[in-house]
Amino acid sequence: MTTPGKLTQEVLAAFEGTPDPRLRELFGALIRHLHAFAAETRLTPLEWRAGIEFLTATGQRCDAQRQEFILLSDVLGLSSLVEDVNSAAGATEPTVLGPFYRPGAPKRAAGEHTGRAQDGPPALIRGVVTDLAGTPLPGAALDVWQASGNGLYDTQDPDQPPYNLRGAFLAGPDGRYEFRTARPGSYPIPGDGPVGELLHAAGRHGWRAAHIHVIVSAPGYLPVTTHIFGADDPYLDSDVVFGVKKSLVKVFRPAGEADPPDVEFVAEMNFVLATQIGTLEGVVVPERRGVPQQRYKQSQEAARNGQRPPGKLSALDEKDLRQERAVEDAPDYRMDYVPSVGQHDAVSQEAVDGDRNSECDEHEADNAVRHANGLRCAPSKRQLPVYPQSEQHLDHRQPERRSRERGLEADRVQAGLPEKTRRVVRRVSPADDIEHDRDDRASEANSR
């Protein structure tokens, strides 16, 4: 009988030949997590079919004006997570693109109004675009869009003219920009489709906090997709798409005597862009997140020596350090160090250019380029030594799966193995652990 763990291994093996390293990594992670979800929840055939039907209905609601799949990603928090893990330290915080972005917004002059009088109280939005050092970025581009006062975007409302409340603006020589628009209001996302049914089943409301969408870009810098939120909105703490960031919340103050007479409110929002430091196969690579590279190197070295790191490590960095040290502590085998985003500068040259197997040269050379540009490396093709399962009760599964440590009690170590023998093992699903423990108990019974 095929167990869940063995089935997962068979599926992973079928995708091991994927030529593109990054695509192979994505396939592997997707398969592992999907199988783990099904095993953990003991997904039934009826539930599986209901899920298929839900995804099918989601796709059927997508058209040129509506993107139900992006909406689904938004309400599940995935859109915000993707923006967060790809953000650059010190730059303006990103948030969701949303399902109503429309490319090709008309170019408008500085200060021009993007909409109509009936869209809402006129507001002036202004600020400056700079780099991380505070240097203004002349000619920076801002692509802005928002919903009208009735809570609908132009693509939802036939009474609005095309590209209403949308515009493309350029910052001036001093990096400053300004545009007029309607003061945004909160609105419900479309609830007449599968995503609306999901929210109803979960007992969640479907309201978005009042906001203006902005994509800020400049040559040589990473673009930022973000929002400007109104500080007095009642949905700031429960935005349905998890898009609110404290740094993006701004006060829309009443216009004063020094402000233009044709606006009722004024909000100021500055944007900061990070430089891009390289590309690989058309992918823009951001500056390393967490701490500056030199400080990170010092922290990494101090952590290796058991000293207190001089700089604060991000949670991702700390996790990677723990994983690396766990691998280094395990005796009698060698594993190529596979870095993730945020730690490529800590990988020793020996791990890249050291003792290679000839058949791995091309693969490792590709990885050297990837981690030099801050991208995740593909799993190593090197094989670890295989120890007898009956002696060590170890799990010898593929080395590219996410790691944890499994300690061996002294009374279970056979054949004179060292007491501190440890092994990094990879978890696919609870079913794997059940099968593994069953093998352990059988081995113990045989040894008596």
> What does the alpha-carbon distance between residue 372 and residue 291 come to, in Å, rounded to a whole number?
17
Within this chain, do residues 265 and 300 fall inside the same structural domain, yes or no? no
Q: What does the pLDDT read at residue 5? A: 85
User: How many domains does the chain fold into?
Assistant: 2
Q: Quick check: is 262 in a domain?
A: yes
Is 9 within the bounds of a domain? no
Domain boundary among the residues 279, 312, 342 is at: 279
Within a domain: 55: no
Same domain, 103 and 233: yes
State residue 299's pLDDT score.
Answer: 53
CB 113 within 8 A of CB 84: no
Alpha-carbon distance of 298 to 313, in angstroms, equals: 11
Q: What is the pLDDT of residue 315?
A: 52
Q: Which residue is associated with the tokens 């309607």?
A: 182
The pLDDT of residue 211 is 98
Domain end marker among 245, 279, 313: 279
Assess if residue 287 is contained within a domain. no
Q: Is the whole model's pTM more than 0.75, yes or no?
A: no
> 144 and 117 in one domain?
yes
416: Cα separation from own chain's centroid: 46
In the block, residue with structure tokens 């951001």: 286
| Structural domain of 240 | 89-279
Q: Is 112 exposed, middle or buried (0-12, 13-18, 19+ CB in 10 A)?
A: middle
* Rounded CA separation 389/443 (Å): 9
Residues 345 and 434 in one domain: yes
Query: Are 144 and 271 in a shared domain?
Result: yes
Angle at 349 between CA 347 and CA 355, to 5 degrees: 115
Q: What is the pLDDT of residue 214?
A: 98
Residue 412 lies in a domain: yes
**CA–CA gap between residue 265 and residue 122 (Å, rounded):** 7
Last residue of a domain, one of 229, 255, 279: 279
Residues in the chain with pLDDT values less than 50: 278-296, 308-313, 323-361, 369-374, 376-434
Specify the pLDDT at position 382.
Answer: 40
Between CA 366 and CA 3 the distance in angstroms is 35
Report how far residue 101's alpha carbon sits from residue 71's, in angstroms, rounded to the nearest whole number. Answer: 12
Q: How far is Cα 349 from Cα 365, in angstroms, rounded to an integer?
A: 12
Please check whether residue 2 lies inside any domain of the structure.
Answer: no
Q: Return the number of other C-beta atoms located less than 10 Å from residue 107's C-beta.
A: 10
Residues 413 and 264 in one domain: no
- pLDDT score for 28: 96
Does 1 fall in a domain? no
Closest CA to 206 of 96, 69, 72: 72
154 and 269, same domain (yes or no): yes
